[in-house]
Amino acid sequence: MKNCMRRTVTQKRPEDNGISHRLPLRKGLMTALLTASVLISTSGAHAEPALPVLTDATSSIITLEDEHRLGRNWARILRGQAPLLSDPIVKQYLSDLLWQVVPNSALTDRRLELIVLDKASFNAFAVPGGIVGIHGGLITASESEAELASVIAHELAHLSQRHYAQQLEENRRNRPLMLAGVLASILVAAADGQAGTAALSSTLGGAAQAQLAFSRRNEQEADRIGMQTLSASGYDPYAMPRMFERLQKSYRFYGQKPPEFLLTHPVTESRIADSLNRASSLPRPAPLQQSLLYPLVRTRLLVHYAQDLPRLLEQFTAIADGNAAPQARYGEALAALALNRFDTAQAALDALPAQWRKHPYVRLTELDLLLARQQFDAGWALARELRALYPDSMPVRYRFALTARQVGEYRLAAETFQALTSEYPTDADFWFQLAETEGLNGRINAVHLARIEYFMLTGQLDLALRQVQFASREKELTEIDKARLTQKEQEIRALRQQMKEDLS
C-beta separation of 84 from 429 below 8 A: yes
In angstroms, rounded to a whole number, what is the distance separating the alpha carbons of residues 105 and 101?
7
C-beta separation of 82 from 189 below 8 A: no
In angstroms, rounded to a whole number, what is the distance separating the alpha carbons of residues 23 and 187?
12
SS3 116: strand
Sheet with 113-117: list strands edge to edge. 113-117, 131-135, 124-127
- Among the options 223, 427, 429, 489, which is catalytic? 223
In angstroms, rounded to a whole number, what is the distance separating the alpha carbons of residues 358 and 83?
32
* CA distances in angstroms from 481 to 61, 362, 411, 448, 486, listed in the order given: 42, 43, 20, 11, 9
502 is catalytic: no
C-beta separation of 411 from 376 below 8 A: no
DSSP state of 133: E
Q: Which of 434, 435, 444, 462 is nearest to 76 (CA)?
A: 462
Relative orientation angle of helices 360-372 and 394-406, to the nearest 10 degrees: 10
Residue 44's identity, in one-letter code, is G
Radius of gyration of the chain (CA): 24
- Among the options 87, 145, 147, 155, which is catalytic? 155
In angstroms, rounded to a whole number, what is the distance separating the alpha carbons of residues 280 and 451?
53
DSSP state of 206: S
Q: Is 50 exposed, middle or buried (0-12, 13-18, 19+ CB in 10 A)?
A: exposed
140-172 exposure pattern, b = at least 16 Cβ within 10 A, e = fewer: bbbebbbbbbbbbbbbbbbbbbbbbbbbbbbbb
Distance of CA 108 to the CA centre of its chain: 22
**DSSP bridge pairs for 84:** 117
155 is catalytic: yes
Spatial neighbors of 445 by CB under 8 A, at least 6 apart, are 471, 474, 477, 481
SS3 177: coil
Which residues are catalytic, by number?
A: 155, 223
